[in-house]
Amino acid sequence: MALKVGILGAAGYTGAELIRLIDLHPELTLTYVADREHAGQKLGAVLPQTEGVAGLSDLTLELFSEDLAAQLKKQVDVCFTALPHAASASLGGALLDQGVQIVDLSADFRLRDLATYEAWYGPHPRPELIPRAVYGLPELYRKELPGAELIAGPGCYPTSAILPLAPLFKEGLIDLHAPVIVDSKSGASGAGRKPGASTNFSEASEGMRPYKIAGTHRHTPEIEQELSRAAGTELRVTFTPQLAPMIRGILTTAYVRLKDGVTEDQCRNAAQTHLVSELLTVLPAGKLPDTLHVRGSGRAHVGYALDERTGTLIGMCAIDNLARGASSQAIHALNIARGFVETAGIPRLAQFP
């Protein structure tokens, strides 16, 4: 029988993408949707793409609270929490207490160190749950995911930075004394559905701008955590996010210094060894990632180029921020946790053009 699925925060872009993918999934059935802002409305009125779709458009968006957790346990087997930080831990934690499997798409369970979380996000409402969370990056945590009750969905920017760099640190190919620089460009949907001056069409369509630079973006400690784990030593990363004039997609270019004698092919081989997945391609020499080539899919394209004049390796990754950077990666992790076919419900081909 199909798993009964709920989504808290169903009316946002991440929730909408989850609904699209769950509808494609042979093992999942959406039975519950909640959203504080749109509670009481039909899903078809809030997400017009579901209008007229049997079993979806007539679902009513509920107002979920912790005291309803025992009741919701009767309606769902697994719940995706696509909520702001702290709210996900509180509401998702209440469901976890009732035995509901949680796939969290907030930052609440990504960081293993409580002090680090609180330095960047403030007090954690359920710190005792942090050790139970499995980081949901399938290529690096495939062995830990089976049977996981609490999955921490990685951030979109961290996904695009960790994938090309972690294999190189694992193989000891990078000079640990040199800077690690990550530059990422994201489409405007990464800012969420709530309207804002900086992301409306007039201000985002013809310009490109960095924001939250110089160590102030909250995804910085997540990138550092996972790359430090791969390297076996504590690392610091200079991370610059930029808003690009497109709707979906992230293109990351990361700059590291290789150890003497390390070649571009060694880097590519390391990625092919450590990033085994039907939903990831390590591009051959001379081919470079393009967000258009992964748009709407659950795929990641990873590429490398070595500047031999300086010994600097450029590691690149293109993903769809709403899919591979959030919703499809969450489903990929759930598939592994439940023993389903890894690619179930996940588009393997991009929308092109």
Specify whether the CB–CB gap between 100 and 72 falls below 8 A. yes
Residues carrying an active site annotation: 156
In Å, the largest CA–CA distance within the chain is 63
Name 260's Cβ contacts closer than 8 Å, sequence gap at least 6.
311
Tokens in use for 81? 């929490």
CA nearest 245: which of 184, 188, 160?
188
Pairing outcome for strands 181-186 and 209-210: unpaired
Q: What is the rounded CA–CA span in Å between residue 235 and residue 177?
A: 9
Specify whether the CB–CB gap between 330 and 136 falls below 8 A. yes
Phi, psi of 60 (to 5 degrees): -95, 130
215: left (phi over 0), alpha (psi -120 to 50) or beta: left
Q: What is the rounded CA–CA span in Å between residue 17 and residue 21?
A: 6
